[in-house]
């Protein structure tokens, strides 16, 4: 929001605080209150489909914040935007996987039928200030566990890879996408083209806990690692990589 205000844009923010707090908006003038999609698929709530219809009525350009979950448990790596994915239609994660796929379908239906100006971004792991400590994301989970002196949880053998993108870089990508011509609709993968294994990332978290000198944080920069099978319905943990070449070309 700050980046848009600095650009001179008029911003109306709608937030139900499901994954955020009122304090995050309190520093902005006249905060009202977008419904983010929780990272924890077991805490999903029914979404809404009014956004493309409202944008069509207003003649507005609209952004769909999609995610890498549209690819499901992919059979190829890296995954480019042309890959159609592999999703279990009756699994416990389908509320999140299929929800994002359904939203993309709806947006492109409006694009084809009404000429709605759409932008579809598939956002990958993003981190930055004011994240919820218990939101289930990799970075916040590792750091929270390390600061509390708890074992750091690694799913499977820790071979799965992630692209960790700082929020400022993601905002740069979203603004560039929204400023692009109407012929650029997406979907487009947005993330940082550097991949780290979950088994590597926990060491950095342990070191940050020691450097922070927070009471209860584990000293020495090395945290105990606890292997876990992962959340219910999680796909097999394999070292997947995403293809960001299309975004780099735009």
Q: Mind telling me the catalytic residues? A: 96
**In the beta sheet, which residues pair with residue 163?**
195
Positive/negative CA dihedral, 138, 90, 68, 105:
negative
Residue in the structure block whose two tokens are 């699994």: 91
CA distances from 146 to 14, 127, 195 (A): 33, 16, 21
Cβ neighbours of residue 78 under 8 Å, at least 6 residues apart? 240, 241, 242, 243
CA 205 to chain CA mean position, Å: 20
Q: Which has the closest alpha carbon to 81: 112, 28, 25, 124? A: 124
């Amino acid at each position: 929001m700050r980046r848009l205000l600095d650009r001179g844009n008029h911003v109306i923010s709608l937030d139900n605080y499901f994954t955020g707090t009122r304090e995050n908006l309190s520093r902005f003038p006249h905060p009202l209150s977008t419904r983010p999609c929780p990272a924890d698929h077991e805490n999903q709530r029914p979404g809404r489909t009014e956004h493309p219809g409202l944008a069509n009525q207003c003649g507005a350009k609209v952004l769909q914040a999609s995610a890498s979950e549209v690819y499901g448990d992919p059979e190829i790596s890296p995954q480019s935007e042309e890959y159609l994915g592999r999703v279990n239609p009756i699994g416990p994660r389908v509320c999140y996987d299929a929800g994002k796929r359904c939203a993309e379908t709806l947006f492109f239906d409006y694009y084809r039928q009404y000429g709605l100006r759409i932008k579809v971004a598939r956002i990958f792991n993003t981190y930055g200030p004011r994240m919820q400590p218990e939101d289930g994301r990799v970075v916040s989970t590792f750091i929270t566990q390390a600061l509390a002196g708890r074992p750091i949880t690694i799913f499977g053998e820790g071979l799965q890879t992630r692209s960790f993108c700082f929020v400022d870089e993601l905002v740069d990508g979203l603004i560039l996408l929204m400023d692009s011509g109407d012929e650029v609709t997406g979907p487009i993968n947005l993330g940082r083209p550097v991949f780290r294994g979950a088994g590597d990332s926990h060491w950095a978290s342990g070191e940050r806990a020691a450097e922070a000198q927070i009471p209860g944080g584990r000293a020495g920069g090395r945290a105990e690692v606890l292997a876990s099978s992962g959340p219910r319905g999680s796909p097999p943990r394999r070292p997947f990589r995403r293809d960001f070449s299309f975004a780099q070309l735009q």
